[in-house]
Structure 1
Amino acid sequence: MHPLNPRPDKLSPFLRLPVELRLRVYAYILPHTATIDVRLQRGDGEPERSEYNLTFVRESETSNGVWKVQKTLPRSDREIGNEIVWRRGCTAILLANHQVHDECVDAIYGDNTFVIDVTFDSIKFRQRWRTANNLTPSRSYAFLDHFSQRNLIRIKNYVVNVEHVDDYTGMIKYNCGGRGLTAGIRAKVQELVDLLSVAPYLHRLHVHLIDGAISRMKFPSGRVHRVQDVQNYSSSQTVLDPFKRLRAVTKASTTGVSPAYAKEMVDTVTTSKDTL
């Protein structure tokens, strides 16, 4: 016998929708990343930046003073990920209930691309957003401290800039040079990899080695060491070696290094975990 006043179903109509439809709704509400044309990031009337600078560098210490002209990316263009901007949304929906909360944080952290900048003394999350007049201001946060550990391992898409500098710049910025400078940068990379290695799934990983030497700007024709010169690749690019611990990355790429090193890195991190 059916009761005269049947008890209403506790499950809301929204949660009775297929999860695919709920995810479509979340996409309209939640903050998300998008890719824009980097040319839109210039203000009105601002001249277009040069694709590269030309500087004189010594070929090697044993070249008897031979110099050559070398193309160098402008300082503002050496990092990658500037085309990734956040569209601001509403996160109040996370307060609805536990199920909606978990689905939303999975979308925020799992579907968007996080741009990370690694230097000798920091690991920063760079959040860049687009304003109504096409400006793209940005703000950096201490990556490992700003987010909870539970949410950090939800992230699946990374763009990582690792900045290496020459001894001159290292002494000015960090009071460190030589092997200690390279070891310090590598230690920060290892700290980031320790997090990435416990993430259950990584979809996209783009790692870029930046030549962050300020002496290129002050002394463009007299630098002793240049991070991305061919003769220095063997030492400078070793700061990225900790990334080789990762496995089963779906889409991987490495730039700012030699072609051979880039291929080795991609082949390693995309290897299945079952082959270990």
Structure 2
Amino acid sequence: MASLYSAPAERSPFLHLPVELRRQIYQYVLPHTSTFDVRFQRGDGGEPERSEYNLTYVREASNNGAWKMQKTSPRSDREVGNEIVWRRGCIALLATNHQIHEECVDMIYGNGIFVIDVAFDSIKFKQRWRTANNLTPSRSYLFLDHFSQRNLMRIKNYIINVEHVDDYTGMIKYNCGGRGLTAGIRDRVQELVDLLAVVPYLHRLQVHLIDGAISRVRFPSGRVHRVQDEQNYSTSQAVLDPFKRLYGVRKAEMTGVSTPYAQVLERSMTGAGGAS
């Protein structure tokens, strides 16, 4: 009598391969991130960064308005992560079976570097991809809405730009200024940290503050320097305080902030326990 049930399908020989070898094969077909020199993207000829952008003159309110020099990143007034580009691959492989799907999405999300832009009113994932003729178009998505919660938990590598605009820009763009503007930006940072705090084993976390309140003033010498009052400077960087909740990050880097503040946050995030 013929069986009413079909025989189970034979396991694919591909799945008999060691997982390390399967992952090497996946790398050739799946989307992944790589770096692409921004000089070739922008066509600026590779000119070196002007030296006047490497120093910020800070007016100390506690020292009769005296000036001090604060070393800053050459790109501390711009976003970072523009060198991260996605290579578009084939995702049809994900529909093969459950095991291959899980192995592939773990690679896409776990190995890729995700560039996130945090502003007063949004948290966005910026996807920049490289075309065959080396163009690098980009598109932004609402980060927490675009991906499923399960895939958000797989992401291990982040570059995060946090933009703190000046009061004038805040009133124009968001109808908000002063303490309310700072509090709103900090709330968005907190919302992102709420996710990162439950992600196991974060590998890379680079956080960059774009401080729009810093102005450029021409000094009597004729050189243009970045200028910021100490009180406003400390207020701006405080929007990153929620990152003190994180711990156990393998590699953490803070830029666009004062050196002491960066050191405190980096130690906190890479330590064995979060700040109280």
Sort the TM-score into its range (normalised by shorter chain): 0.7 to 0.9
2:161–2:210 CA contact under 8 A, matched in 1: yes
Q: After superposition, what is the alpha-carbon deviation per residue over 1:201-248, rounded to whole angstroms, capped at 9, x for unaligned?
A: 2010000101235x95xx866xxxx89654433211110011111111
Q: Which residue of 1 aligns with 2:255?
A: 255
Determine the structure 1 residue equivalent to 2:129.
Answer: 129
Matches within 5 A, 1:1-276: 10-43=10-43, 48=46, 51-52=49-50, 59=59, 78-212=78-212, 216=215, 230-273=230-273
- More off after superposition, 73-82 vs 188-197: 73-82
Q: Is the 8 A contact 1:228 1:256 kept in 2?
A: no
Q: Tell me, in whole angstroms, the C-alpha distance in 1 between the residues paired with 2:275 and 2:244.
A: 14
Structure 2 Cα separation of the partners of residues 201 and 71 of structure 1: 32
Distance 2:275 2:121 in 1: 34
Q: Provide the C-alpha distance between the structure 1 equivalents of 2:181 and 2:144, rounded to a whole number of angstroms.
A: 22
Superposed displacement of residue 132, structure 1: 2.6
Partner amino acid for 1:129? Answer: W
Task: From the superposition, tell whether residues 244 and 76 of structure 1 become closer, same or farther in structure 2 (CA, over 3 Å).
Answer: closer
AA aligned to 1:36 is F
Provide the C-alpha distance between the structure 1 equivalents of 2:176 and 2:274, rounded to a whole number of angstroms.
Answer: 40
User: Quick one: percent identity of the two aligned structures?
Assistant: 68
Deviation string, structure 1 residues 51-106 (Cα, Å, up to 9, x no partner) = 24859989478999999999998989711101111011000000000000000000
Q: Helix, strand or coil: the match of 1:14?
A: helix
* Native 8 Å contact 1:120 1:185 kept in 2: yes
Q: 1:224-273, CA deviations, whole angstroms, 9 ceiling, x for partnerless residues?
A: xx896544332111100111111110011101111111111011111124
Secondary structure at the counterpart of residue 15 of structure 1 = helix
Q: Check 1:58–1:234 CA distance in 2 against 1; reply closer, same or farther (3 A cut).
A: closer
Q: Tell me, yes or no, if the aligned pair for 1:247 and 1:273 is still in contact at 8 Å.
A: yes
Q: Distance in 2 between matches of 1:270 and 1:64?
A: 37
Q: TM-score scaled to structure 1, two decimals?
A: 0.82
The whole-number CA distance in structure 1 between the counterparts of 2:121 and 2:97 is 39
How many aligned positions are there?
262
SS at match of 2:25: helix
Given residue 130 of structure 1, which amino acid in structure 2 is its aligned partner? R
Q: CA RMSD in A?
A: 3.3
| Unpaired runs of at least 5, structure 2 | 1-6, 219-225
Match in the other structure for 1:3: none
Partner of 2:139, secondary structure, is strand
- Say if 1:114 and 1:158, in contact at 8 Å, map to a contact too: yes
- SS of the equivalent of 1:194 reads helix
2:22 aligned partner, one-letter code: R
Q: Residue 118 and residue 79 in structure 1: after superposition, are their counterparts in 2 closer, same or farther (change >3 A)?
A: same
Structure-1 separation of matches of 2:96 and 2:260? 50
1: CA distance between counterparts of 2:101 and 2:141? 23
What's the offset of the Cα at 1:140? 0.6
Per the TM alignment, residue 135 of structure 1 is displaced from its structure 2 partner at its CA by: 2.2
Cα gap change, 1:60/1:172 in structure 2, threshold over 3 Å: closer, same or farther? farther
